[in-house]
Structure 1
Amino acid sequence: MARHGSLAEQLGGFRIFATAPDHEPDPLQTTWTTTAANDNNPEDVEELKHDRKRLVTPSVQEIMKNVATGELERNQSGQITKIGRLKFSDGTQTEKAFRFTIDGKLEEYSARMTTGAMLGCRDKVDTALGGEINPQEITDSNNYFAAMLDTKKPRYVTGRRHKGPRVKLTHDEAKAELAAAYANTDMAKVTFTRYPDGLPCGSQRVADSFLGMQKTTCAGGGSVMWQDIVSQREDRREWLEAKDGMAEHHFKTLTDAAKAGSLKQLGQARGYSGQYAIEAGRRLLVAANDNFEQALELARSAKSST
């Protein structure tokens, strides 16, 4: 055992002792398995790729839309710097980019854009490609919530990009404007309209706003793979054989350590007090840990020899 290692690194046997189950493995526990069930031939999957959605901004449609406007802007040198809403470099602009240093680390730097390069472009890999979303399923789901909650049928409302200039008013100016509106209004002629109950319109799927009603995958129920059952039973058999091969006082030390809250409590249980209790608890725990590791190694050796 390394003398200079931390106490946690030295107590590997105690971790096995404390986490060992006190019962036979339950065959009905989970559908997850710790045994790999992958028989793919490396030569068969070598050329396979994982398709992912790639986002390129601006899109080809957006580029052609701006080109069709015919709006061009040139600088003093006659270089085209803008087509519609698309901006181009004149050789002096920079954009954030990444590169590898000599020691192989990735760093961010300001890359100079070549003359004529389109500015503000983005090319990144997004989510993995999968099945297409069926719009009819979304509509049926939204109508289900509307019928269940007795509300108006939902509709998806996107945010407006251009909301116009923002008018800034102080608190006193807002109060004065509201008072003027009340003074110019005949409340006897005011009618109040109550809008029907509705659903959130910020998402295409209303179900996204009701997370508690969504069904998700879980690992509960099912049968454990037979490989897991065999492995757990073998681990428990080794643990029982190692326990039988331990000295009685070492076994009692590990049992008390699993319940103790500190090394001091472990030492006090053996009659020590003060600082001596901490040192004694550490010494007793390390000795019992070594004894259990030796017994566990003997149990594994006996298994391999049979």
Structure 2
Amino acid sequence: MPAVACLIADPDRSPLDGRLVEEAEKALRGKQHWLGEAAAAEIATEELEPGETKARLEPLLGGLAVDLAVLSPQHRRKRLLVSDMDSTIITIECIDELADFAGIKPQIAEVTRRAMNGELDFEAALRERVALLAGLPQRAIAAVIEERLRLMPGARTLVRTMRAHGACTALVSGGFTAFTRHVQRLCGFDVEQANELEIADDRLTGRLIGEVHGSAAKLATLCSLRDRLGLADAETMAVGDGANDLPMIRAAGLGVAYHAHPRVRAQAPVRIDHGDLTALLYLQGYRRDEFVTG
């Protein structure tokens, strides 16, 4: 069965070495093709199974800051992207930053970390953290957006490039709509979904409106959009960093753990530990000159 091995690096911190790519080409008896100078190359092989392909390349990588993914050449360019938000599309965990304004960030951040690593029940942990924010002025939400919310490198390029090539893009979060709606506008996502904080008298009540949108809701969104668009599983991609992202990551044609928590990295089909979000374009075979930036 033919396979494509993608080697991806951060060109600013640890450029992809041409000699490494040549060694990988020889090991696979394949053909190299550069997707982005110093950032990404792929090697196609007709002779090796994916498992053997990976086994031959891993010893070459050693401790190098290079991401490796072995993929099927079929349906490389996905027609649906479903992405987590916090610590995936943006650099922060919004609930932790709200907690900072309430003076309890260390307490809440530790619960967030454990929940994202799958050590705690997501819904119970979320309700517990939201309850601790009771009384926080609503203006803290705007302050987090204005002062702390930053897009992950490559986020806008990822979304705009996929949309320019006909893909549907969805932002799904276990966080809050006040932030997903802002990020949707920044990046151009077609769809957004998150939890809604209850607010009364310009202050957070410590409760959510409606049911918690967690892992089941993320998976349901992936499946619903896939079916609505008439897509095969192989035409879908999901990306996230937390344990509540694992069901959709496993269900997608290309499931990616992005700079993820240890348990997520261990269970995801593909992991990106070093590259930025444009790595998801390289995984699909996009060349750097095809990216839609700005």
Q: What TM-score does the superposition give when structure 2 sets the normalisation length?
A: 0.18
Larger Cα Rg: Structure 1 or Structure 2?
1
